[in-house]
Chain A
Amino acid sequence: MTTTRPPQTGELSLPARPGWPDETGHFGIFGGRFVPEALIAALDELTEAYEAMRVDPAFLSEFARLQRDYTGRPSPVTEVPKFAEHCGGARVLLKREDLNHTGSHKINNVLGQALLTKRIGKTRVIAETGAGQHGVATATAAALMGLSCTVYMGEEDTRRQALNVARMRLLGAEVIPVTTGSRTLKDAINEAFRDWVTNVETTNYVFGTVAGPHPFPAMVRDFQRVIGDEARVQVLEREGRLPDAVLACVGGGSNAIGIFTAFVPDEGVRLIGLEAGGDGVDTPRHAATITGGSPGVLHGARSYLLQDDNGQTIESHSISAGLDYPGVGPEHSYLHDIGRAEYRPITDSEAMEAFALLCRTEGIIPAIESAHALAGVMKLGRELGPDAMLLVNLSGRGDKDVETASRWFGLGDREEVDPGPGLDTDQQPTEGAVSNDEAVAGQDAGEEL
């Protein structure tokens, strides 16, 4: 166990990085820059400005102030003993990113990138969003810092997620429905890149996850690592030891990298990412990129992705819009390949079971994204037994998911969500529940990318 004490929120430095990526943004064979030459100058500018900014006391002071006074950091760690009764008796601690302003961990990253945007003298930000949470966070930061903001969102999602579209517009952002390709998050990213290459002189791309071309995976990690830096200190101070495992859901993987990074040097701490298994990884309908995909290039970096024999991206499926992405951040691919982190799939049914359980046992409504991590801890706790202490990143809150959950459980029929002991089977939606597609269509979700 490493006993080096990581800095706490408010200290004027960003902690040392792990030994990756290299200077050109490679995590082993993953990462890099697979983008048109036209964007290289902007990526170089961003890299240079970011490297200067991350050691600049004025920036670090302002970033720390915003985290404290605007986001509400540090977020607490909550032990959930009644939920843990369904986890083989293991102790379960939740890192409460759901309590941040705007309702998820996304704000950690956008505040950093918005400050960077101002530093490089650009006046407009663009962002992609799957179902709205990164879009809302970006619109929030843009409003706070006086930047103009355009958010690209798949046309289907703008219809399904009308509330988040309204939130972004209330915050002053322009929301552009994307009508190309599969009209999903991946196409929103394509469209944001097209905007960026056209308007790069005035515009910065606030990328929402630890994917994309260098420097985004490293930069977003640095902005999100506050989650694990805080949690490591909080758990050590309270328990006098580190957790046995740290769990988080993985779409693009920013909340997972955020909580993993501080623990990477702690060899005794297992790092476990929970991917969206959809209908099951043995079906075509899932988003478990590392479990069910293969290495390739998508959205500017080499990483695992869901692809066919021709190298075409396969559309992903998950009840959680935030995990519904056919790619994953390159650092996760690297952590997987070197064996430092494990990745497991969680089906829609398993996630919804954990979702219901946390609501009923602890009075906390999690985001459906985060419910995948909760389902993972239910399984792991049963594997490890009562001596284990497990830390879970509760990356977002589930207010946005109420409609999806109501449909899944049969339009709010409370008997259907009774989290009895019998729930530890791979339960299918109860009679009267709608199909996953319809459930997704009804959700007002925030992506976990």
Chain B
Amino acid sequence: MSILAERIGAAKAEGRAALVAYLPVGYPDVDTSIAAMVAAVEAGADVIEIGVPYSDPGMDGPVIQEAVEVAVRAGVGMRDVLRAVEAVASAGAAATVMSYWNPIERYGVERFATDLAAAGGAGAITPDLIPDEAGEWIAASDHAGLDRVFLVAPSSTDPRLAATAAASRGFVYVASTMGVTGARASVGDAARTLVDRTRQARPDIALCVGLGVSNGEQAAEIAAFADGVIVGSAYVREMIEGRGADGVRALTEDLAAGVRRAEVRA
């Protein structure tokens, strides 16, 4: 059974969207980052995207780059990530690893899947791995019973939307705009259009929207048409500006209220 599908389904049963919070492991240090993740769970996040630091984060904007650079320099690795997974799972959220592909490949794909499942993890989001290249990961995640989340983008063709959604388990990550991570003033109509197109391609999987969402108001807007709202850079900014677990808790409360006041639910 998919941990993510179950968790997002439970939110839906409450008539709301799920809240997915991203935080990288190791910023400003491993313990503080794990404490922040636990704070997000306690304040109402349903899913934590546990970020694996990577030296070349090509899909990330300046805020996340700044944080992961610190973690990379400190030598934070998969062992620390798995510790975060255990903590988040114990706190009661779906612990989902977010990693560029090379750290997973270097750790060993099967070993990663086995260790992630053993730590209580739900699965992994792989922003630079498309299903076309994912044969080994698909096999390993099947074997370990893990979710695997691929991304769709506004530029995805219909055949690619269908193939990507079909290869995903747990949810599909709907990238709201063409671009990198980072807060945006408005998330725009592209996200809604893409959610509609993806839902047509595969109606039976949850669709979570990310890129650009930073506050409760935007979360409410997205929650009106998506199954989940993903927030990343806004969380990292709380950490960079030194507000730590308290800042994370306050942001989560704002966002958690947002995903509950969506006016129109599909």
Show the binding face of A for B, using Cβ within 8 Å.
Answer: 24, 32-42, 44, 180-181, 186-187, 190, 193-194, 197-198, 200-201, 296-300, 307, 309-313
Q: Cα distance A60–B103 when bound, in Å?
A: 42
Whether B106 and A35, one on each chain, are in contact in the complex, defined by CB atoms closer than 8 angstroms, is: no
Question: Which of B55, B105, B151, B179 has the largest count of A CB atoms less than 10 A from its CB?
Answer: B55
Distance in Å from the Cβ of A39 to the closest Cβ of chain B? Answer: 8
- Taking a contact as CB atoms closer than 8 A, the residue among B56, B103, B105 that contacts A190 in the complex is B56
Could you tell me which B residues sit within 8 Å of A by CB distance?
53-59, 61-62, 65, 69, 72, 75-78, 101-107, 127-130, 132-133, 150-157, 160, 164, 175, 178-180
Say how far A16's CB is from chain B's closest CB, in angstroms: 26
Looking at A37, A40, A44, A298, the one whose CB has the most chain B CB atoms below 10 A away is A37
Tell me which residues across on chain B come within 8 A of A24, comparing CB atoms. 132
User: Which residues of chain B are within 8 angstroms of A190 by Cβ–Cβ distance?
Assistant: 56-58
Complexed CA–CA distance, A42 and B56 (Å): 21
Chain B interface main SS type: loop
Cβ contact within 8 Å between A298 and B155: no
Instruction: Give chain A nearest CB distance to B78 CB in angstroms.
Output: 7
CA A24 – CA B65 in complex, angstroms? Answer: 30
Q: Is the CB of B105 within 8 A of A297?
A: yes
Q: Which residues of A contact B132 (CB under 8 A)?
A: 24, 32-33
Assembled-state Cα–Cα distance A300/B100 (Å) = 11
| Complex: A316 Cα to B107 Cα, angstroms | 22
Complex alpha-carbon distance, A190 and B180, angstroms:
11
- On whether the beta carbons of B59 and A197 are closer than 8 Å, the reply is yes
A300 surroundings in chain B (CB, below 8 A): 128
A24–B154 Cα gap in the complex (Å)? Answer: 22
On whether the beta carbons of A198 and B179 are closer than 8 Å, the reply is: yes
Contacts of A180 in B (CB 8 A): 62, 65, 69
Name the prevailing secondary structure of the A interface residues: mixed
Cα–Cα distance between A300 and B59 once the two chains are bound (Å): 12
Q: Is A200 within 8 A of B102, CB to CB? A: no
A-B contact pairs, 17 of them (CB 8 A): A32-B132, A34-B128, A34-B130, A37-B164, A37-B175, A39-B155, A41-B155, A42-B155, A194-B58, A194-B180, A299-B56, A300-B128, A310-B76, A311-B54, A311-B105, A311-B106, A312-B54
Q: CA A194 – CA B58 in complex, angstroms? A: 6
Chain A residue at smallest Cβ distance from B133: A32
In the complex the two chains form, is B58's CB within 8 Å of A193's CB? yes
Residues of A near B76 (CB, < 8 A) are 310
Q: Which residues of B contact A299 (CB under 8 A)?
A: 56, 58
Give, as a whole number of angstroms, the nearest-CB distance from B84 to chain A.
15
The answer to whether B105 and A36 touch across the interface, beta carbons within 8 angstroms, is no
Docked Cα-Cα span, A37 to B150, in Å, equals 9
Nearest to B160 among chain A residues (CB) is: A40
| Neighbour of A297 across the interface among B53, B102, B157, B178, CB < 8 A | B102
Q: Chain A residues near B78 (CB, 8 Å)?
A: 310
Contacts of A42 in B (CB 8 A): 155
Residues of chain B lying within 8 A (CB to CB) of residue A36: 58-59, 127-128, 151, 153, 175
Please give the distance in Å from A303's CB to the nearest CB on chain B.
11
Q: Which of B56, B69, B133, B178 is in CB contact (< 8 Å) with A38? A: B178
User: Are A37 and B130 interface neighbours, CB within 8 A?
Assistant: yes
Tell me the nearest residue of chain B to A41, going by C-beta.
B155
Q: Are B128 and A40 in contact (CB under 8 A)?
A: no
Q: Other than the known A35-B130, A41-B157, A296-B105, what 12 A-B pairs have Cβ atoms closer than 8 Å?
A: A33-B132, A36-B175, A37-B130, A37-B156, A38-B153, A186-B56, A197-B59, A200-B178, A310-B72, A310-B76, A310-B106, A312-B103
A4 shortest CB reach to chain B, Å: 35
Q: Are B178 and A307 in contact (CB under 8 A)?
A: no
